[in-house]
Structure 1
Amino acid sequence: MSLLFSPLTIRETTFRNRLWVSPMCMYSAEDGFPGDWHHVHLAQFASGGAGLVVSEATAVSPEGRISPRDTGIWDDARRDAWAPVVAAVHARGAAAGIQLAHAGRKASTWWPFAGRQGSVPAAEGGWTAVAPSAIAYEGFAVPAALDEPGILRVIADFRAAARRAVDAGFDLVELHAAHGYLLHEFLSPLSNEREDRWGGSLENRARIVLEVVRAVRAEVGEAVPVLVRFSATDSAPGGLEVDDVATVAGWARDAGADLFDVSSSGLVAHQRISTGPGYQVPFAARVREATGAPTAAVGIVTSGEQAERILQDGQADAVFAGREFLRDPHFALRAAGELHEDPAALWPPQYVRAYRERPRPR
């Protein structure tokens, strides 16, 4: 058996394989409610063989949405709307995760296919974004700096959202501390100019991340895996670098996090990134090496052989893919074929006929 299609157990959850679906925003919710789009969208990846399907960034409060069309889980009604989606993923053999998020200064913006850019005005359904400091993301409105009670409310919102996620049936929660959203904004000196206990040193800037991890771990108990997604670098002068993030990840592990989903960038518009196949995998390898904690790698992973090499080389313990699953929702089934796995072990029985009757090369 390949490593990619071997099981992985974290706390009391066992994943049938290590090829997982990254959280990807669909900007298709109405007032924070997931709907038919989300049900079909996420369930198809489970039918396609993924070991874990993670929902898009789901706001822990209304003002934490990236756009007015983001999903949320800030009350029981939205919790209940997620439950059938989770059940559909489980019915197809995959674990279900949710990424809990607060967009910070990148909140209240137009969704990518809205035909407009920048911040959504209040008259058109927008709201005032919040951040560690009143520093705007380039092209967006200036956010309001959070005061101490506001920061404590954010921590409480993550905790309450984690409880609702578990009650909706999700197997794990992932905390979004990447891509320039609120927790990442606190971590980076480019967006955090505070002079209180939430700013200044790396330890102070990481305080909110660690408090959220502790609060969520206390709420969900010892059985539920807690993941954290980090941006390993800001890809900009004066910003976070991978060793900073590895240090924070070590602290987060001590606070109760189990696995780190390591991405990069997203904090500033003037970032400079060189992309290519597996371009972010070395970041996952560095965090894994520095902390001894399991990591998941991301970054233009498009084949079973490539994903298997990442695991065989000890760079990560699982692989997340996003756009490749959008291009091919059955990416995991294809990858299993590339690695000569037994199709009966992964293919839905309704699909096995297609595998057996596939065209043979001449």
Structure 2
Amino acid sequence: MSQLFTAFRLGELELPNRIVIAPMCQYSAEDGCASDWHLMHLGQLAISGAGLLILEATAVEPAGRITPQDLGLWSDANEAALRRVLAAVRRHAPIPIGVQLSHAGRKASSRAPWEGGSLLRPDEGGWDCVAPSAVPHGDAEPPPHALDAAGLQRIRQAFVDAAKRAVRLGLDLIELHAAHGYLLHQFLSPLSNRRDDAYGGSLENRMRFVLEVFDAVRAAVPARVPVGVRLSATDWVDNGWDPAQSAALCAALEPRGCAYAHVSSGGLSPRQAITVGPGYQVGFAESIRRHVSMPVIAVGLITEAEQAEAIVADGRADLVALARAMLYDPRWPWHAAARLGAQVTAPPQYWRCQPSAHKALFGSTRVGQR
């Protein structure tokens, strides 16, 4: 029996299998509002047969967007636009849906990747960035503004307010983005956090803001809604954030009620030296799993059904997350189930598409035609 296609629980949320669609920025929103592109994009992913779909990095305030086209959840208009998209998706797909709440910090105010991804100055339609310290992401970029006490409080509250909007939208799960060099990750890493107050210096101090944001969000939403954290296990830079510190963070999050750790890596520094290959980040998830009992999600060039099956069956992670592989093949879970002799849920409009060699792929279906 395939372990990848067994059910799993994240807190009170039951997933039909261990396949997670990781957050993937689309840079296609309008003033933070979900667009028709999101309806098309999420619609196809929602009927993929995966166990969980997590919406892209969603900014908690306008200044927290990576690009001017980022999805947001800071306003009534943002909430209404996303409600429209979710309502359409849910009419046809039972998949649990979560959201990743984010603030880009010093990596905000950028062009979309297909426009080069470089910093947008205020006179080009960008804005001034904030960060733990006045340390720019790139050497040629202006330094961000170091957050003061009022700024920290504003951003904590922005995460809470966005989480409450997510609950009103009926989203099933909340993920806090503390990875890929964005604001919460910037507080964690000594490369970007040069503060000399209670939020900088020691590991305990550098973790403080992330833990405060987590505590505030966890307290603000019902217990039935799992709250997890996406983290970069390493900066891939000497003297930066590393796996040992990541394990310490997860050990601090677990007793606070963290539902899971979603383990990625990198993104903080242009100096990163990453060794890329199939499953290149899975070892980080496996290492963290040895230090905590909460579920761990592995991600990073997981592209083959047998590869994903082995990660779960061998106990290296509890779930696997796919991103680019799902964009390339939105029916990846169907094809994986066929190869592993498992079953997935599919809309009845598609039941007739099962290949003759996989007649049980969609479970017990009865399709006739006059």
What TM-score range do you get, normalising by the shorter chain? over 0.9
Name the TM-score, length of structure 1 as normaliser: 0.96
CA distance in structure 2 between the aligned counterparts of 1:25 and 1:212, rounded to whole angstroms: 22
Distance, in Å, in 2 between the alignment partners of 1:180 and 1:308 is 30
* Aligned amino acid, residue 12 of structure 1: E
Equivalent in the alignment of 2:327: 326
The number of residues matched between the two structures is: 357
Match of 1:248 in 2: 249
1:141 aligns to what?
A: 142
Instruction: Please report the RMSD computed on the Cα atoms of aligned residues, expressed in angstroms.
Output: 1.5
Q: Give the structure 1 partner of residue 307 of structure 2.
A: 306
Taking the TM superposition and a 5 Å limit, the aligned residue runs for 1:250-329 are: 250-329=251-330
For normalisation by structure 2, the TM-score amounts to 0.94
Deviations 1:247-269 (A, max 9, x none): 01111112221100000010000
Name the CA distance, whole Å, in 2 between partners of 1:153 and 1:146. 10
Q: Could you list the runs of 5+ residues in structure 2 that have no partner in the other structure?
A: 360-370
* Distance (Å, rounded) in 2 between the aligned partners of 1:302 and 1:164: 34
- Mapped to 2, the partners of 1:154 and 1:291 lie a distance apart of 28
SS at match of 2:57: strand
Provide, for residues 164-211 of structure 1, a one-character-per-residue CA deviation record: whole Å limited to 9, x for no partner: 011112100100000000000000000000000010111110011101
**Distance (Å, rounded) in 2 between the aligned partners of 1:183 and 1:298:** 19
Alignment match, 1:211: 212
Deviations 1:341-362 (A, max 9, x none): 13xx4232222211145799xx
CA offsets 1:60-108 (integer angstroms, 9 cap, x no match): 0000000101010001221121123333443312110100000000000
1: distance between equivalents of 2:237 and 2:355? 50
**Partner residue of 2:336?**
335
Aligned to 2:238: 237
Q: Is the 8 A contact 1:89 1:95 kept in 2?
A: no
Q: For the residues of structure 2 that align with 1:189 and 1:332, how far apart are their CA atoms?
A: 39
Q: What letter corresponds to residue 352 of structure 1 in structure 2?
A: W
**TM alignment of 1:70-219, pairs within 5 A:** 70-90=70-90, 91-114=92-115, 116-138=116-138, 139-219=140-220
* Alpha-carbon offset, residue 293 of structure 1: 1.5
Secondary structure of the residue aligned to 2:165 is helix
Deviation, 1:316, is 0.8
Alignment match, 2:42:
42
Q: Using the TM superposition, give the Cα deviation of residue 27 of structure 1 relative to its aligned residue in structure 2, in angstroms.
A: 0.7
**1:213 touches 1:256 (CA, 8 Å); kept in 2?**
no
Identity of aligned residues (%): 49
Structure 2 residue aligned with 1:346: 345
In the TM superposition, what is the alpha-carbon distance from 1:324 to its structure 2 partner? Answer: 0.4
Cα 1:131–1:84 change in 2 (3 A) is same
